[in-house]
Structure 1
Amino acid sequence: MRPSLRTVCLNICFGFIFFLGMVSTPWLAILLGSWRRFMLLEMLSIIVVPIFFYFVPESVQWLISRQKYDEAIASLKRVAKTNGRQIDDSVFEEFIKDCQLSQQSTKKHANLLDLFRTPRLRRTFLIMLFEFIVLPYYCKLIVYYVRRFEISPFVMSSLRATTILPACLTGIILKDRIGRKALALTIRLLIVLLLSLSSVFVSHAATRLLFTFFVIGCILCHISFHSNIQYTMELIPTCVRGQALGAINDAFLMYIICIKYILNVPTVFLPLPEIILGVLNLMGVCFCLLLPETLNRTLPCSLEDGEKLGIDEHWYTFGCIKKRTQPEELDNSLAP
């Protein structure tokens, strides 16, 4: 995807398709009347998913990072044909020659271990890993405080899912206006503010106030989660993007197991969960300042590109005040 379409396409997938699936799932379970039938329906839908990969062209950037130039040209021609564009073969040949020239000193089969050997990419990866670890703690804390609501778990699941749509619409509006870095920073500051209010009012709060905290907290969670996904995909080079995102996702799932033990600390001191999470989010704010801005930037393809991304920026550089400095590449111009 070219830079101008990344945010819209990603948030449409989450904001509309994922939203409809999450809202309807509890009611499908009730309609089917049996968990066995419900799990069978879920299994059948998952089985269908791999079929779609036969219709989706391979990432040209990934093919180029693996120096599979013939397959990259075939994928580009397929995209150009789908978009109704006629491109001379000489253009593709010149494009491949430029890629070969730029990849003379790059590693052909880079992996996650190679990423850790690069100082700036290693720092970026660890920062994003930290951001993903803090987020589920906040999500579970929200659920922990709304357990006192006498609401059906099916209704509660749908209520949580309804916040996905406004969160994604907010992301579409803000990400390309203020930039990824500024949005990540703002969301974390809002989370700290909401945690401060929660620690003061939640112990004696009325149901309406708790529900307000619940809705706002869910929206912030979804904005942060979707923003982190896109930001990570844009920061990590194509050659190791899949491995890096897989490692982050595994750490994310493993950390969820430990969260319930942390949520038991109110037995020691009531506002302790909010204090711990507030400190972690303030650390996340500081770490976000070390990340480069990716707004209107071409995605890094190799480890060398990832190391150079944002090397001329400062901690106070934000997309909303930074002029566009990079042109879109040939492969981006072929995108729909």
Structure 2
Amino acid sequence: MESHEKTMNTGSGQDPHRTDDMELKTGEPANGVPKSQLKDLDDLFPYIGDFGWYQRYLFLMMIPYSFFFAFVYFGQIFMTVVPEEYWCEVPELRNLTVEERRHLSIPLNNNKYDRCSVYDVDWASVLNSGIKEPNPQWTVKKCDRWEFNYSDVPYETIASQQGWVCDRDSYAATAQCVFFCGAILGGLIFGWIADKYGRIPALVGANLAGFAGGVGTAFTNSFWSFCLCRFIVGLAYDNCFVVMYIVVLEYVGPKWRTFVANMCIATYFTLAACMLPWIALGVNEWRNYTLLISVPLLLAAITPWLVPESARWLIAQGRIDEAMKILKNFERWNRKKIPDHIVKEFQETATEIAKAEQELKQYSVIDLVRTPRLRRHTILLLFIWMCIAMVFDGHVRNVGTLGLDMFVTFSVATFTEFPADVLLIMILDVVGRRWLAFGSMVISGIFSLLATTAPIGIASASLAIVGRFAVNISYNIGMQYAAELLPTVVRAQGLAVIHISGYIATILTPYIVYLATVAREIPLLILGALGIVGGCLCLFLPESMGKDMPQTIQDGENYGREQKFWDFPCCSRKKTYIAKKEEGKF
């Protein structure tokens, strides 16, 4: 299965899912009118409609899967968040006010109450003696239970319930890493299912795994049982949505793919993610919150009755009649008619495509590193995607350290996905991939670094949110750029490797964010550096805008040889236009 990250765009009108671009010579009919040459499914869109009622129905069907993806990806944040203020609990002092018992039982450290230690005295004797002031000479011991100030996080989470603070304050980060370990295994399992049994079984299976793990999470009572359940939920990331994303893009005409690819993320996914903190606040209890965002994934079980299987996958398996049956639904919904001679011609083409698919199996990812230029491009794509994935995920998880209400900050930062996607739709095919990826990553890095120099609060949060906005753009370019640079014969496998490298990289991001316990500035410093480095690496890739995608390994090796470092697509277009005008072609 061609694995893709969250927002693989198709702005060029080229289809990154195509695995064969051969031309089928069909000759001419007796009347002298040339028959249309059908290369693949894309050539049927003039007959079934680019974005008719059936495609609009599928576009709307992406809503639940977008919500499931947001719930799986971001849900854990609000299960494990810890209030900013906490201190040791002393059961014997419960009859005192919060201020009185904290003043009496907690030692001061730099004029602040210590969060991890308590005076070790006989509190019954202290109370009977009427002592109201602590004695600095009292012995001190580590806490074994805590009280929390729930003013900033107004509900109990598993972290506050089980005391994941002080010596155990890395537990939440570790649980998040376990989630991403599950994602690596899930990518392999559901990728295999998608190739062997079809896209729809993989989509259903991924969501049911998320459902099972999520419901199990609500009944956990220890750190390790929580990790096990989050590992199972991780299996669903991000196949619970991306498989649907790929299927829908396959059925949308090339000129509509940029819109569909970006707007489903900009609207559905963004809305779901922005809702999450308010769901947590509304439910006000972590177990019920977990159930509320996990149970809906069970609805994916009815997917086979609502969403068609991938016609491209059916054709690749030689199940051409089933693919044609699905295409007949497009005829009916869109009130179109495929001429009989086109149906016959496409069936012949599909047979050739199925044969070509079998030939592709002789290639592997090893072929990506056999030749020098293609090897360099592949390694660059791996490192760039790892940087993008880490910066994006790091900004998502770092909202709690920005000095503002984390629920509001999370929603505001997440909403930047909408303008980022809209802007990308407008400029991607003007500026090009290379310079836009470079610019957005470097801007993200610069603003992340600037946020470390600003006062904690609105100033630092605003700069960090700009950094998040910029990396949203990079994230949405990433997989499309890779798809357009890798040769057809190894594109699916290459994208899967890049995809999984992102999973591996994001295992580190919870610990990067955890370093805020040492100093608030450290996570943003690391994210800023990664953004600048990743952006600069983009400049060593060739531009792919408006170029034919490479088909063979040799095509991939030669790709972009004629380009210069300072080439800008928008300037090149202008020069081409002027040259043609001077030649009298306009």
TM interval, shorter chain, is: 0.7 to 0.9
The equivalent of 2:509 in structure 1 is: 259
The equivalent of 1:221 in structure 2 is: 471
Alignment of 1:232-243 (within 5 A): 232-235=482-485, 243=493
Give the conservation status (yes or no) of the 8 Å contact 1:26–1:157.
yes
> Is 2:272 the counterpart of 1:21?
yes
Alignment of 1:94-243 (within 5 A): 94-98=345-349, 100=352, 107-109=359-361, 113=365, 116=368, 119=371, 123-139=376-392, 140=394, 144=398, 147-151=401-405, 153-195=406-448, 197-198=450-451, 202-203=452-453, 205=455, 207-235=457-485, 243=493
TM-superposed CA distance for 1:134, in Å, is 0.7
Give the conservation status (yes or no) of the 8 Å contact 1:142–1:217.
no
Letter in 2 for 1:11: N
> Is 2:532 the counterpart of 1:281?
yes
For residues 152-188 of structure 1, the C-alpha deviation after alignment (integer angstroms, 9 at most, x for no partner) is: x322322222212111111122223323333212212
Give the conservation status (yes or no) of the 8 Å contact 2:440–2:474.
yes
Give the conservation status (yes or no) of the 8 Å contact 2:403–2:456.
no
TM-superposed CA distance for 1:96, in Å, is 4.6
For residues 283-334 of structure 1, the C-alpha deviation after alignment (integer angstroms, 9 at most, x for no partner) is: 5434444244144x6777x6669748955752555543566xxxxxxxxxxx
Give the conservation status (yes or no) of the 8 Å contact 2:413–2:468.
yes
Letter in 1 for 2:502: F
Q: Please, which of 233, 237, 260 is the counterpart of residue 9 of structure 1? A: 260
For residues 133-159 of structure 1, the C-alpha deviation after alignment (integer angstroms, 9 at most, x for no partner) is: 1124334268658615142x3223222
> Is 2:303 the counterpart of 1:48?
no
Give the conservation status (yes or no) of the 8 Å contact 2:444–2:531.
no
Letter in 2 for 1:22: A
For residues 185-234 of structure 1, the C-alpha deviation after alignment (integer angstroms, 9 at most, x for no partner) is: 22123234435544xxx345363331221220111121211222443455
CA distance in 1, matches of 2:416, 2:298: 28
CA distance in 2, matches of 1:279, 1:32: 37
The equivalent of 2:206 in structure 1 is: none
CA distance in 2, matches of 1:214, 1:272: 11
Q: Please, which of 329, 335, 339 is the counterpart of residue 78 of structure 1? A: 329
> Is 2:504 the counterpart of 1:250?
no
Change (3 A) 1:261 1:3: same
Change (3 A) 1:43 1:237: farther
Give unmatched runs, 5+ long, in structure 2. 1-251, 574-586
CA distance in 2, matches of 1:319, 1:84: 39
CA distance in 2, matches of 1:41, 1:305: 52
CA distance in 2, matches of 1:190, 1:232: 21
Where 1:253 maps in the other structure, the secondary structure is helix
CA distance in 1, matches of 2:331, 2:562: 35
Give the conservation status (yes or no) of the 8 Å contact 2:446–2:528.
no
Change (3 A) 1:33 1:190: closer
The equivalent of 1:326 in structure 2 is: none
**Which TM-score applies when normalising by structure 2?**
0.45
CA distance in 1, matches of 2:473, 2:341: 43
For residues 230-252 of structure 1, the C-alpha deviation after alignment (integer angstroms, 9 at most, x for no partner) is: 43455556776665444434332
TM-superposed CA distance for 1:17, in Å, is 0.3
Change (3 A) 1:56 1:319: farther
Letter in 2 for 1:130: F
Aligned residue-pair number: 316
CA distance in 2, matches of 1:33, 1:207: 25
> Is 2:303 the counterpart of 1:33?
no
TM-superposed CA distance for 1:24, in Å, is 0.9
CA distance in 2, matches of 1:37, 1:146: 22
Q: Please, which of 84, 91, 95 is the counterpart of residue 342 of structure 2? A: 91
CA distance in 2, matches of 1:321, 1:64: 41
CA distance in 1, matches of 2:490, 2:501: 17
RMSD of aligned C-alpha atoms?
A: 4.1
Give unmatched runs, 5+ long, in structure 1. 324-336
Which structure carries more helix by proportion?
A: 1
Range 54-63 or range 126-135, more displaced: 54-63
Task: Decide which structure has the larger Cα Rg and report it.
Answer: 2
CA distance in 1, matches of 2:296, 2:490: 29
TM-superposed CA distance for 1:5, in Å, is 1.6
Give the conservation status (yes or no) of the 8 Å contact 2:438–2:539.
yes
Give the conservation status (yes or no) of the 8 Å contact 1:293–1:318.
no
Change (3 A) 1:11 1:126: same
Letter in 2 for 1:12: M
Letter in 2 for 1:219: F
Give the conservation status (yes or no) of the 8 Å contact 1:137–1:256.
yes
Change (3 A) 1:288 1:107: farther
The equivalent of 1:330 in structure 2 is: none
